[in-house]
């Protein structure tokens, strides 16, 4: 019974962490730098504060929140240098993933069909008449699905974990300064060129387009900060 109770508790911690990630990264409820009240979340979910505290620790390990002694937990904030460093790390790891996908021929026709479907959705979202913040949330979610699919197909579990955590941080950084609509459309369409390079088994071409995609967002963020 003790083991069953412990497993149930761990599962609750995980569910609370998933809920908070959703609220922070996708729903727009929490902004960067905002204080997260443990008691408020616990009352909202009708649970004790312990699983909320454990969930926040998980999010802290992923770089989504920061804990400040005697002050509490806050949604993480990122400056210009943070964003560039995270983007650099992502590119280095994802480049290796591309080398494996191409070198070992891990992507087939069905994979490319599914990936193109995700790109079509990204392009459609970026060109829609929805509010900009809503479009960025929808675009980011599909972008995560696109890249996570590629990471999973590489079979590299630690790369998958690191890249997933980095993606969360990049998502938060994007929320601080909303990218312009035309940059979102261009970024979405760049994914087609990544896929075309992968189909040709052109690893260097795919990495070149990946670099342009990642840093197109960073350049827009730089222009926003400069103003």
| Neighbouring C-beta atoms of residue 104, cutoff 10 Å | 11
- Domain extent for 31: 2-75
For the chain, percent helix, then strand, then coil, each to nearest 5?
75, 5, 20
pLDDT given for residue 182 in this prediction: 57
Domain with 167 in it: what CATH number?
Answer: 1.20.120.530
What's this model's pTM, rounded to 2 decimal places?
Answer: 0.74
Last residue within a domain, chosen from 28, 58, 75: 75
**Measured CA distances, 71 to 36, 37, 74, 164 (Å):** 10, 10, 9, 28
DSSP 74-85: EE----HHHHHH
Q: Are residues 124 and 218 in the same domain?
A: yes
CA 153 from centroid of its chain's CA atoms? 17
Q: Are residues 60 and 114 in the same domain?
A: no
Instruction: Work out how many domains the chain is built from and give that number.
Output: 2
Q: Are residues 19 and 128 in the same domain?
A: no
Contact indicator for 107, 198 with CB cutoff of 8 Å: yes
Per-residue pLDDT of the chain (227 residues; tens, 9 = 90+): 333 334 355 688 889 998 998 888 877 788 889 999 999 999 999 999 999 999 999 999 988 999 999 999 999 988 878 888 888 999 999 999 999 999 999 999 999 999 999 999 999 998 999 887 778 778 888 988 999 999 999 999 999 999 988 888 877 776 655 444 557 788 889 999 999 999 999 999 999 999 988 877 555 445 444 54
35 strand-pairing partners: 74
């Amino acid at each position: 019974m003790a083991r069953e109770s412990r497993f149930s508790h761990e599962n609750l911690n995980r569910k609370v962490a998933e809920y908070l990630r959703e609220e922070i990264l996708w729903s727009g409820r929490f902004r960067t730098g905002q204080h997260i009240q443990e008691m408020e979340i616990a009352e909202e979910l009708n649970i004790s504060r312990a699983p909320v505290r454990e969930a926040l620790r998980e999010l802290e390990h992923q770089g989504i929140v920061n804990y400040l002694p005697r002050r509490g937990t806050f949604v993480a904030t990122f400056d210009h240098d943070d964003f560039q460093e995270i983007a650099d790390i992502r590119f280095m790891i994802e480049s290796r993933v591309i080398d494996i996908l191409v070198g070992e021929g891990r992507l087939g026709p069905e994979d490319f069909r599914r990936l193109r479907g995700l790109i079509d959705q990204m392009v459609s979202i970026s060109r829609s008449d929805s509010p900009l913040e809503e479009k960025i949330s929808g675009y980011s979610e599909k972008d995560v699905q696109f890249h996570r699919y590629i990471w999973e197909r590489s079979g590299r579990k630690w790369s998958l974990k690191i890249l997933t955590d980095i993606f969360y941080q990049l998502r938060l950084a994007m929320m601080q300064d909303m990218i312009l609509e035309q940059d979102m459309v261009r970024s979405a369409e760049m994914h087609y060129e990544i896929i075309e390079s992968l189909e040709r088994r052109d690893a260097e071409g795919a990495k070149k387009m990946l670099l342009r995609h990642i840093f197109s967002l960073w350049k827009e963020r730089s222009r926003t900060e400069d103003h």
